[in-house]
């Protein structure tokens, strides 16, 4: 489907510019920002840069990269004021119903540039889908595919994505937290009534999960350290028919295998 069918008025080089927000290597995913906070997403539109501005326009049409050539519509923003390095913007009321729902397939230059004239985007893009519901986070695929940053898992937990909640609440398990800055690991287990979901929610809301060495790390570095450096994955999915002692036995086996008491964050 061509963009003209939905956005005919946006193909105007004198009024609009398109901003395709892309992920920097090891950086925050734009799609995560759009999902967790529209206020934060709005702040992504205001940086003007230090170089001479090539696209002096009144309106910004924003998209967040999902992956590769897929970009999710993030709204139209009116530039209300310009300073040396930033804009002041406000959300334009047009097409707000499509924010987080409309995805384009962009086949133009996708290496460095993030700002483009409308005619270029219209020439190299098509509408690939319009979802019934607004994007709130990625869908659950499988337990073995979980290898998620603290940021990504925070969106899942705080938005209470139903497919994730059902999957993670229905099982016990042994999980691994990785400090990507130091390479140190923490092995933990989940055997409460909400399974892995409930245990991971403790980390998202409190960071340390009341674990001794993680509490010490939190005291030194605070919440931002965990948000920036920690990653979640599952080592073993276990049935909720097991008693806690059986789950803890599996946890201890993984601690021995990975030597997380000697080299990681497990105190015992």
137 inside domain? no
Residue 113 domain flag: yes
Instruction: Mark whether 82 and 147 lie in a shared domain.
Output: no
Alpha helix (H) residue ranges in the chain: 30-36, 38-43, 118-124, 150-158, 162-169, 195-206, 212-221, 223-229, 244-258, 260-263
The answer to whether residue 88 sits within a structural domain is yes
Query: What average pLDDT values come out for the chain (268 residues) when binned by 10 residues?
Result: 94 93 82 91 75 70 93 95 79 96 90 84 96 92 95 93 96 98 97 97 95 95 93 98 97 98 96
In a domain, 135, yes or no: no
- CA 268 → CA 105, 173, 245, 251, 259, distances in Å? 50, 18, 16, 11, 11
| Within a domain: 138 | no
**Is there a domain that residue 159 lies in?**
yes
pTM of the model: 0.78
Which residues have CB under 8 Å from 145's CB, separation 6+?
none
- CA–CA distance, 206 with 227 (Å, rounded to integer): 11
Tokens found for residue 180: 């990507």
Residues 148 and 253 occupy one common structural domain: yes
Question: Tell me: the pLDDT tens digits for 159-168?
Answer: 999 999 999 9
Q: Which tokens go with 98? A: 């499509």
Instruction: Check whether residue 123 and residue 195 sit in a common domain.
Output: no
Number of structural domains the chain divides into: 2
Q: How far apart are CA 161 and CA 26, in angstroms?
A: 24
For residues 212 and 174, membership in a common domain is answered with yes
In this structure, the answer to whether residues 29 and 87 fall within a common structural domain is yes
23 and 60 housed in the same domain:
yes
Query: Does some domain include residue 268?
Result: no
Same-domain status, 86 and 36: yes
* Averaged pLDDT score across all residues of the chain: 92
Q: Is residue 110 domain-shared with residue 181, that is, in the same domain?
A: no
> Cα angle vertex 35, ends 159, 127, to 5°?
130
pLDDT at 87: 77
CB contact set of 39 (below 8 Å; sequence gap of 6+): none
Range of the structural domain that residue 66 is part of? 3-130
Q: Is residue 181 part of a domain?
A: yes
N-to-C CA span, the chain? 58
Q: Rounded to whole angstroms, how far apart are CA atoms 213 and 98?
A: 45
Contact between 10 and 117 (Cβ < 8 Å): no
Q: Measure the CA–CA gap between 166 and 26, rounded to whole angstroms.
A: 29
9 with 120, same domain: the answer is yes
Which pLDDT belongs to residue 52? 47
Query: Do 114 and 147 fall within a single domain?
Result: no
* Closest-CA residue to 128 (of 74, 69, 60, 41): 69
How much is the pLDDT for 23? 81
147 and 124 co-located in one domain: no
- Sequence-ordered list of residues with C-beta below 8 angstroms from that of 5, at least 6 positions apart, any chain: 127
Partners of 252 in the β-ladder:
none
């Amino acid at each position: 489907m061509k963009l003209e069918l939905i956005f005919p008025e946006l193909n105007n080089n004198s009024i609009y510019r398109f901003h395709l927000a892309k992920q920097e290597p090891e950086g925050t995913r734009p799609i995560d920002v759009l999902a967790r906070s529209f206020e934060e997403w709005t702040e992504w539109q205001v940086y003007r840069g230090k170089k001479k501005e090539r696209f002096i326009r009144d309106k910004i049409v924003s998209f967040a990269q999902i992956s590769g050539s897929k970009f999710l519509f993030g709204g139209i923003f009116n530039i209300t004021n310009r300073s040396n390095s930033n804009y002041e913007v406000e959300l334009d009321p047009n097409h707000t119903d499509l924010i987080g729902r409309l995805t384009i397939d962009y086949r133009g230059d996708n290496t460095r540039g993030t700002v483009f004239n409308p005619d270029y985007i219209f020439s190299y893009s098509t509408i690939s889908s319009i979802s019934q519901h607004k994007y709130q986070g990625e869908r659950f695929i499988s337990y073995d595919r979980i290898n998620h940053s603290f940021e990504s898992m925070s969106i899942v937990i705080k938005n209470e994505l139903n497919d994730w909640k059902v999957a993670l609440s229905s099982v016990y398990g042994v999980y691994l937290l990785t400090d990507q800055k130091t390479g140190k690991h923490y092995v933990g287990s989940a055997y409460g009534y909400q399974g892995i979901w409930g245990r991971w929610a403790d980390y998202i809301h409190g960071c340390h999960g009341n674990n001794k060495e993680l509490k010490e790390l939190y005291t030194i570095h605070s919440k931002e350290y965990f948000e920036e450096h920690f990653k979640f994955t599952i080592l073993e999915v276990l049935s909720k028919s097991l008693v806690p002692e059986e789950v803890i036995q599996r946890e201890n086996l993984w601690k021995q295998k990975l030597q997380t008491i000697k080299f990681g964050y497990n105190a015992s």
